[in-house]
Each structure stands twice: as C-alpha cells, then as structure tokens.
Amino acid sequence: MTNFHNQFSRRKFITIAGSVAAGSIILNAGLSNPGSAQSKGLETTKVKLGYIPIVEAAPLIIAKEKGFFAKHGMTDIELSKQASWGAARDNVEIGSSGGGIDGGQWQMPMPYYISMGKITKGNKPIPMYVLLQLNTQGNGISVSDKHKGQKISLKVSDAKAYFDKLKAGGSRFKAAYTFPQANQDFWIRYWLAAGGINPDTDVELLTVPSAQTVANMKTGTMDAFSTGDPWPYRIVIDKIGFLAALTAEIWKNHPEEYLGMRADWVDKNPKATKAILKAIMEAQQWCDNFGNRKELAEICAGREYFNVPINVLEGPLLGKYDKGDGKKLDDKTMAPYYWKDQRGSVSYPYRSHDLWFLTESVRWGFLPPDTLDKAKGMISKVNREGLWREAAKELGIPAADIPKSTSRGVETFFDGIKFDPENPKAYLRSLKIKKVSI
C-alpha cells in the first residue's frame, strides 16, 4: 500500500516536472519549480538525511513533502528513518557512500561528541558541522499513572519526600531518555536537580528506545520518560501516564534539535548545503503558520513517517495539551516553534546555545572541566552559523530576521537560574546539584 502510494506520487511528480520543463519560462515563473534550473550550479542534487520519527523532524519532512528541497535544486533527497539515536550515530559514521547517511537530525551535543570521537567506534573523530536548529521546545516529561497524586509536577521539590521514600524502599524512581548525555537526559536532570533531587543518586536513569516507551511504562520498567512528541502526549492519550512538565516550562524558548552533517560532505558541497538550508528554512516558515499545523500533523502522522493517529500530534503542534492530571493548557507559545519565537530566530544555530549544551555536559561529568576553556575554539569549528546567514540572505530573509550576534544572551530557567554565555563557570557555581567541582 505504502509502496504503491510512493510510486504513484513519484509518477505524478515526474509528469508534472515534465510538463513544467516543456512549458514556457514565463509560465514557470510563479510555480514551485521542481528544480532543474535550480540544480544547475550545485555540486550535487543528492543527499541522504537521517531522522527520528518525532516532531523535531517536521521541517525535514515538510521540506520534502511540500517540494522545498526540489525547489532549491535538491531533487534527489532521501529521508531515512532511523531506528534509534545510536543507529543514526552509526550511520553518519559510515556516511552515505557506505550505505549510511550524510547527516540529519541530532540531539545536542551529539555532533560535538561525534566530532570528538567520544561516542564513535574506537573513539574515531568524525568531524561534523552544526548548521541549523530544527525546532524549539516541543518535548515533555511524562510520568506513569501509578505515581498520580504524589505531587510530581514542574515543581518537583513537592515530591522530594516521595522520591526519598521510594529510594529508602529499595526501588528508586526510574526516569528514561532515548539517548544518554544529550537533550532528553539534560531536561530530566535539570528538572529533578532544580527540585533538590540528585539525578545520579536519588533516582535511576536509563536509556529506552522510543518504540518501547508505552510497553515499558505499562510494565513498570520505567516511571518517567522524556522525548519529543508523539511520545509524551501518546502516554496521556493512551491513559497510562500524565505530563509532569513540558520542556517549554523548564526553559522557555529553549533550543531543541539540530541539523548536523558530516564536515567532509559540507566542505565538498557548500552550494548544495546552502540549498538544503534554504529548503528547510522555507519549510520551517511553513510549519510556523498555525493555519498549516493541522496539515502538518496529518503529513507527519502518515504511515511513511510517524505512523500514529493524527490526534496524538495535533494537540502538541497547536499548543493544546491535556496534561492528563486534570490540568489543561492552551498556549501557542508552548508549541514547538520552528522559525521565530519571542526571542528571535529559532532556526539560527546560536553558538551560545552550543556552549550551554557543552557546559551542561561538564556539569554532569560527561565532559572534563577543561572543555570550557577549549569550548570557544571547538564551537567555532563545529557550528557553521555563517552558512546559515549566507543561505538566509540568498533566500531573501529580511535583515531584521537574521540575528546580529552569535549569542542569544542570558538565558533564564524556570527556577530562576541564569546562564550567561560570557561566564559559564558562574552558571555552574550557581547550581547546587552537579557532578563537577568548580
């Protein structure tokens, strides 16, 4: 069925492309050009990008489905669904020439870990570039219904006595994420530590692949889970848990996942890279339009992509959450914005955000403290925000919508803690619970 649908769509596309090529140039001018003219001058029209079936991937999916990749000349894009973050890492290690991928969607700071060789086979460094932020916010921490009524919410300090009781009873509260030492691990850790709960000693943290989420929560293998939708909201809809906190509540307008690619691919194909960036930027602006959000939910929910009921995605994409604990939320600023939010461009990869992810890695002992002394040099190597700027200019984005600085400035978290990118050590000193001594 899916294959038939694919073939049908492809045939239809080829027919349209053929008729456009045969038509007059004047007629073509206003159409979404399927690419032949745009492809000229690109080093390649082919690329293979990995994605994980969660809302963070939406701009990639829309860039393909709405023809933005083709419009910018990238006519041979393959979006490759990854079984897990570990699989994505393995596939970028081998690259598309070896049957893997050239880049794709990443949690932070995975592109840094891969560039350093921290999480690769034999610790071999595979240089990568961070090119664009795919989305902001849009993640949640869901908790099993068996803990309902124990005051587990954003202000988790209210449940400290309960966590202590579980620990004393020999069964620590188990919180899971999809990949260690990156976004989801950080959101759980930040939330718990802000409530006086030490994530390394008071609870148990573990990795669970998204596909096993519902089963593991039902059987009690895990008590809490953090990832992108459809998972947190699916837990609510399936009536097995509730949303204790949205990541948007923990850190308003926080950076979430990124487009990252192998450095050798980008260095070899700088024009094609910018074409990819322009296509995703257009897709992000399409996604930002709340008038498109229902269609966005429909496309992503489809069998080829997430293969979930549409209502699991609609709520989160519209900022409408039934938190499953009697609380309802209807707030568009809680929705995962893709292009702009109250603090400027979401899509622009601020170097100050990369620094926060590296600092947080130091906080929990994932990277050594001297990382902070080397961070500036490391970030300028990996984060290629200049390419984003060039692509934005070429696309005709107004100067006012292109950030002037590589820093978004001071960030404030829900517990009042501030991260000043000019002084990450002061941020670490201000945190009570941490693994690093600074």
| Residue ranges that bind Ca ion, judged by CB under 5 A | 139, 183, 228
Cα-Cα-Cα-Cα dihedral of 233, 238, 244, 246, to 10°?
0
Query: Smallest distance, Å, CB 230 to Ca ion?
Result: 12
Query: Smallest distance, Å, CB 34 to Ca ion?
Result: 32
Contact of 356 with 421, CB cutoff 8 Å: yes
Q: Which is nearer to Ca ion, 183 or 359 (CB)?
A: 183
Q: Which is nearer to Ca ion, 50 or 228 (CB)?
A: 228
Nearest to 175 by CA among 225, 130, 112: 225
Q: Which is nearer to Ca ion, 257 or 411 (CB)?
A: 257
Query: Smallest distance, Å, CB 226 to Ca ion?
Result: 8
Task: Kindly report the backbone phi and psi dihedral angles of residue 248, in degrees, each rounded to the nearest multiple of 5, phi listed first.
Answer: -65, -25
Q: Which is nearer to Ca ion, 96 or 105 (CB)?
A: 105
User: How many CB atoms neighbour CB 422 within 10 A?
Assistant: 10
Query: Smallest distance, Å, CB 165 to Ca ion?
Result: 31
Question: Looking up tokens 């038939």, which residue turns up?
Answer: 4
CA angle at residue 49 from 46 to 54, to 5 degrees?
Answer: 150
Task: Spell out a b/e string for 92-117, using b for 16 or more CB atoms within 10 Å of the CB, else e.
Answer: bbebbeeebbbbbbbbbbbbbbbbbe
DSSP 149-193: TS--SSSGGGGHHHHHHHHHTT--EEEEESSTTSHHHHHHHHHHH
Query: Smallest distance, Å, CB 73 to Ca ion?
Result: 30
By beta-carbon distance, which residue lies closest to Ca ion? 228
Bond preceding residue 109 cis, omega within 30 of 0:
yes
Q: Which is nearer to Ca ion, 53 or 403 (CB)?
A: 53
Query: Smallest distance, Å, CB 53 to Ca ion?
Result: 12
Query: Smallest distance, Å, CB 183 to Ca ion?
Result: 5
Nearest to 282 by CA among 47, 54, 59, 41: 59
Q: Which is nearer to Ca ion, 75 or 181 (CB)?
A: 181
Q: Which is nearer to Ca ion, 183 or 285 (CB)?
A: 183
Q: Which amino acid is at 269?
A: N
